[in-house]
Amino acid sequence: MLPNFLLPETVTSQNGAGPTFELGAAAASKLTLTLGITRIIEQESLDIEIFGSADGSTWSEKPILQFPQKFYCGAYSMQLDLSRHPDFRYLRVNYKVNRWGRGDAKPLFGFYVFGEETASVPQAAVA
């Protein structure tokens, strides 16, 4: 099911979670996850966490991947090695938004999370 959006572009002003994403043949592989922030206002932050599940209903206690806190528009990529979690067949994106300072205390973000299998480099090319 990859490449695909784990979280389609979302515009939000509150904390939330994305849909349950089934890994299919990508389970136990290495993934590149890209967080794209398309809309933001000043003095706010976005926290993105990825949780795993074997059955799609019981989720890992702790995130299996967490992006560093973000404050600006841009595209940010991280690697997720699912071979460390061979029982996980599903992923879910959780997000937290925060705003401080003057004006309206309500945050506003537009963002997405895209996943694709990481291309493996043949050993001969490494040497």
pTM of the model: 0.89
Q: Are 118 and 32 in contact (CB under 8 A)?
A: yes
Q: Is the pLDDT of residue 122 over 90?
A: no
Question: What domains sit in the chain, N to C, each tagged with a CATH number?
Answer: 4-113 (2.60.120)
List pLDDT tens digits, range 39-94.
999 999 999 999 999 999 999 999 999 999 999 999 999 999 999 999 999 999 99
Q: What pLDDT, on a 0 to 100 scale, did the predictor assign at position 119?
A: 74
Q: Are 15 and 98 in contact (CB under 8 A)?
A: no
Phi and psi torsions of 82, nearest 5° = -75, -10
Q: Are 15 and 109 in contact (CB under 8 A)?
A: no
Helices assigned H by DSSP within 17-114: none
